[in-house]
Amino acid sequence: MLASASPRTAPLADAAAAFLSGGKHLRPTFCYWGWRAAGGDPAERALVDVGAALELFQASALVHDDLIDGSDTRRGRPAVHRRFAALHRSARWHGDADAFGSAAAILLGDLMLTWSAEVFESAASDGDGVDAARVRRARAVFDRMRTEVGGGQYLDVVEQVSGAMTPEGQAERARTVIRYKSARYSVEHPLVMGGSLAGAPEPLLASYRRFGSALGEAFQLRDDILGVFGDPDLTGKPTGDDLREGKRTLLVAYALERASTAQAELVATRLGDPTLDLDGVQALRAILVDTGALARVETLLAELVSDARAALDAADVTDDGRKALSHLVDLATERTA
């Protein structure tokens, strides 16, 4: 449909295809196992549509997120706005290449958001496999998820510009951001969507919610740790990128609760400094370790993993579902990338 308008739209489709070929496919995986663990048929076609909808939604959010954060890379490649800025330069077009890159990233993110909704609805028309009432229940979760993610991203941006001004309650606010922007969205909502499509009874959906919210938060905490301490060769992101972007993570909030005046001042001046070099990264890392923040986050992460496992143990799921979900707990929280 895009190409029928003009061959000049080809770079949009190319960028979307390149973007979607990467990533961990975390959300489609949880959606699929939410379905399977509730006894859903492994070959159901609607699951492919819903999985694709989740992946397109995530792609859209990341493209806009990278633009907002000014990130240069994503999944080891140039971020979409950088890709289009490079296209502008190589074509020797007029005007500001970065402005063109931003415009294209906004529009491609919008298109992927729209395609996400479109492909979700294909699940409803796949016919006899999944009945309309089940699709409606899954859609209600999808709707809630999409609004929560947008609201969570906004809170994240507000926190980055205002967090330092109101240090009280910062840890609680950081957890709120995590919950809406990523925790429920990474695991809980996709899992419940899969379960709803399979017609899972309410007690099983409740187990999914407990399991998913704990695991999702643990997943995000691992992400926060990797964003500061991760190996760039494995994560595909430059060393200490989250520090340079000034992310107000729980790590930072915990560190500030116990920082000395000198440490707090260093955080205030260097966190979010786009010119932060390796020495600066090391200095901030040292504060996160010395204040005990890293250890506290690791402890909380371990508690959340244990909560998730307890919820899974108590859940009435199929055997292969239990095995897969248990394996996903390891993958999501013990990863190095």
Task: Kindly list the residues in this chain that would bind a second copy in the complex (CB under 8 A).
Answer: 1-2, 5-6, 8-9, 12, 60-61, 64, 67-68, 88, 91, 93-95, 100, 102-104, 106-111, 113-115, 117-118, 121, 125, 132, 136, 139, 143-144, 146-148, 150-155, 157-158, 160-162, 164-165, 173, 176, 180, 246, 272
Q: Which is nearer to a second copy, 8 or 334 (CB)?
A: 8
Q: How far is the CB of 114 from a second copy (least distance, A)?
A: 4
Q: How far is the CB of 85 from a second copy (least distance, A)?
A: 11
Distance, CA of 239 to CA of 252 (rounded, Å): 17
Q: Which is nearer to a second copy, 144 or 210 (CB)?
A: 144
Q: How far is the CB of 82 from a second copy (least distance, A)?
A: 16
Q: How far is the CB of 109 from a second copy (least distance, A)?
A: 7
Burial class, 316, CB count within 10 angstroms (exposed 0-12 / middle 13-18 / buried 19+): middle
Q: Which is nearer to a second copy, 121 or 298 (CB)?
A: 121
Q: Which is nearer to a second copy, 177 or 297 (CB)?
A: 177
Q: How far is the CB of 277 from a second copy (least distance, A)?
A: 20
Which 8-state DSSP code applies to residue 104? H
The torsion defined by the Cα of 307, 309, 313 and 316, in degrees rounded to 10, comes to 90
Contact of 217 with 178, CB cutoff 8 Å: yes
Contact of 24 with 47, CB cutoff 8 Å: no
Contact of 171 with 252, CB cutoff 8 Å: no
Residues contacting 290, CB < 8 A, separation 6+: 263
Burial class, 43, CB count within 10 angstroms (exposed 0-12 / middle 13-18 / buried 19+): exposed
Tokens of 205: 């959906």
Which 8-state DSSP code applies to residue 94? S
Q: Which is nearer to a second copy, 125 or 282 (CB)?
A: 125
Q: How far is the CB of 199 from a second copy (least distance, A)?
A: 18
DSSP class per residue in 175-206: HHHIIIIIIIIIIIHHHHHHHHHTT--HHHHH
Q: How far is the CB of 16 from a second copy (least distance, A)?
A: 11
Q: Which is nearer to a second copy, 166 or 299 (CB)?
A: 166
Q: Which is nearer to a second copy, 169 or 201 (CB)?
A: 169
Residue type for 296, please?
R
